[in-house]
Amino acid sequence: MPRIAPIGSRIARYMDVPESAKGPAVDPAKGYRLQDLGEGLFVITDNAYQSMFLVYETGVVVVDAPPSFAGHIRQAIAEITLKPVTHLIYSHSHLDHIGGAKGLGGHPVIVAHEETRRLLVRANDPNRPVPAVTFRDRFTLRAGSRILELSYHGNAHEPGNIFISVPASKTLMVVDVICPGWMPWRRLSLAEDIPGYFAQVEEIRHLPFDTLVAGHVARTGTKADVELQSEFLKDLKLAAGQALNTTKPGEGMDPRDMANPWALFDNYTDRVMVQCVNTLTPKWSTRLAGFDAFIWDQCYAMEQSLRGD
């Protein structure tokens, strides 16, 4: 039987969030917190979402505008400088990270990957203006003497999701791939391409940076967070693979259900999932926050990928 309550069964209380997953508090009167990453680069966060801005000689470059605190971005910038926002970079097309773009005001030049442009043309959302400048593989944004290196590493979370590096601040921003201190968001952070997602985590591991801005959770990330997520993913793949290899379809089923392929598969998958979750629980339930909330989702996503990809 499962040691972690399955999806759909409500439990009295979830596991405690370990200290390693927590970050500095947000002043509720302000609704956001600023983090100085050095050399004019700042993170703005409400401890659920993260965006960045870079101050240069004559203006400000903003990366992402999550609707959850987009109304505070101008105020946050005004704490540091009164220079105008000249550029807005989209990490990817998802509404929850850029849906506050219109609210920034002014007329910043919007930069994004060409796939993001395609998705935003389709979305036709007035709150997510279509980017004016797009690129395919790499793009260097020079803002005064400051440099942002944008690069595309293929589909993982969604097509067009880019890496944004600010070398002078030793900072890398990649959104919706790594969850510092936490279990990935459900179904491997909703990865559209799971082999691509595994590959991107390894690429991030090998890039030079001190600070990872991951787009979510209450703190920024480090190399150690990427190492931990990489280790978890390897264990997940192994656990799901072993469960698939050692589970026999139909075992213990009512013979009357054996001619029902949907039932046969539901019963099989259920036993694979229980084994996968039970295998991972002893090592990981206290190391990553939110293990009990989303471990079933991770096993389902992994099992499906291993059979199909």
Q: What are the residues binding Zn ion (CB under 5 A)?
A: 94, 176
Task: Check residue 71 and report its DSSP letter.
Answer: G
Q: Minimal CB distance to Zn ion: which residue? A: 94
Alpha-carbon distance of 161 to 235, in angstroms, equals 25
Give me the least distance between CB of 290 and Zn ion, in Å please: 17
Give me the least distance between CB of 176 and Zn ion, in Å please: 4
> How does 270-308 read in b/e, with b if 16+ C-beta sit within 10 Å?
ebbbbbbbbbbbeebbeebbbbbbbbbbbbbbbbebbee
Contact of 177 with 197, CB cutoff 8 Å: yes
Give me the least distance between CB of 236 and Zn ion, in Å please: 20
Q: State which residue, 176 or 297, has the beta carbon closest to Zn ion.
A: 176
Q: State which residue, 149 or 192, has the beta carbon closest to Zn ion.
A: 192
Contact of 44 with 76, CB cutoff 8 Å: yes
Give me the least distance between CB of 277 and Zn ion, in Å please: 25
- Reduced to 3 states, what is the DSSP secondary structure of residue 200? helix
Q: State which residue, 33 or 94, has the beta carbon closest to Zn ion.
A: 94
Give me the least distance between CB of 301 and Zn ion, in Å please: 15
Q: State which residue, 64 or 225, has the beta carbon closest to Zn ion.
A: 64
Closest CA to 131 of 101, 155, 153, 151: 101
Q: State which residue, 40 or 215, has the beta carbon closest to Zn ion.
A: 215
Q: State which residue, 176 or 225, has the beta carbon closest to Zn ion.
A: 176
Give me the least distance between CB of 117 and Zn ion, in Å please: 16
Alpha-carbon distance of 43 to 69, in angstroms, equals 12
Element (DSSP H or E) covering residue 304: helix 291-308
CA atoms within 13 A on the CB side of 210: 6
